[in-house]
Amino acid sequence: MTILLTRMFSVFFLAAVILQLLFAPPVSGAVPGKKQLTLRECVDIALTNASAIKKAEHATRLAGSDLLKSYGQFLPKLSVSTGYTPVSLARTYSDPSTGSVVKTKTERVDLALTTSLNLFNGFQDYASLQAAVSRREAAGLSLSRARQIIMYDVTQAYYQVLLNRELLKIARENFSSSQDQLQLTKRQYEIGIKPVTDYYQQQAETANDELTVIKTENELRQSRLELLRRLRIDPEEEITVAEIPTDSLLKLPRNLDRDSLVSQGLASRRDLQSSTLSAKAAKWEITRAAAQRYPKLDLTFSLNTGGYPYYTTTATDIPPSSYDYPPLSDQISDLTGYSLSLSMNWSVFDGFLTRHNVEQAKINYLNQSLDAADLEHDIAIDIQLAADSYGAAFTQIETARQGLRAAEKAFETVKKKYDLGAASFVESNAAKAALVSARSEYSQATYNLALQKNILDFATGNISPD
- What is the model's pTM? 0.80
Residue 16: the pLDDT is 40
* Helix, strand and coil percent figures for the chain, each rounded to 5: 65, 15, 15
Residues 6+ apart with CB under 8 A from 404: 435, 438, 439, 441, 442
- Greatest alpha-carbon span in the chain: 148
Tens-digit pLDDT profile for residues 48-99? 999 999 999 999 999 999 999 999 999 999 999 999 999 998 888 777 767 6
Other Cβ atoms closer than 10 A to 62: 13
Amino acid type, 187: R
Residue 323: the pLDDT is 60
Measured in degrees and rounded to the nearest 5, phi and psi for residue 115 equal -135, 140
Residue 328: the pLDDT is 86
Residue 72: the pLDDT is 94
Instruction: Write the CA distances from 24 to 12, 29, 281, 356, 429, integer angstroms.
Output: 18, 13, 67, 80, 38
Q: Are 52 and 255 in contact (CB under 8 A)?
A: no
Q: Give the residue ranges of the chain where pLDDT is below 50.
A: 1-32
Tens-digit pLDDT profile for residues 148-161? 999 999 999 999 99
Judged by DSSP in three states, 31 sits in coil
Tens-digit pLDDT profile for residues 270-292? 999 999 999 999 999 999 999 99
Domains of the chain (ranges, CATH numbers): 121-295+352-466 (1.20.1600.10)
- d(C-alpha 336, C-alpha 141), whole Å: 53
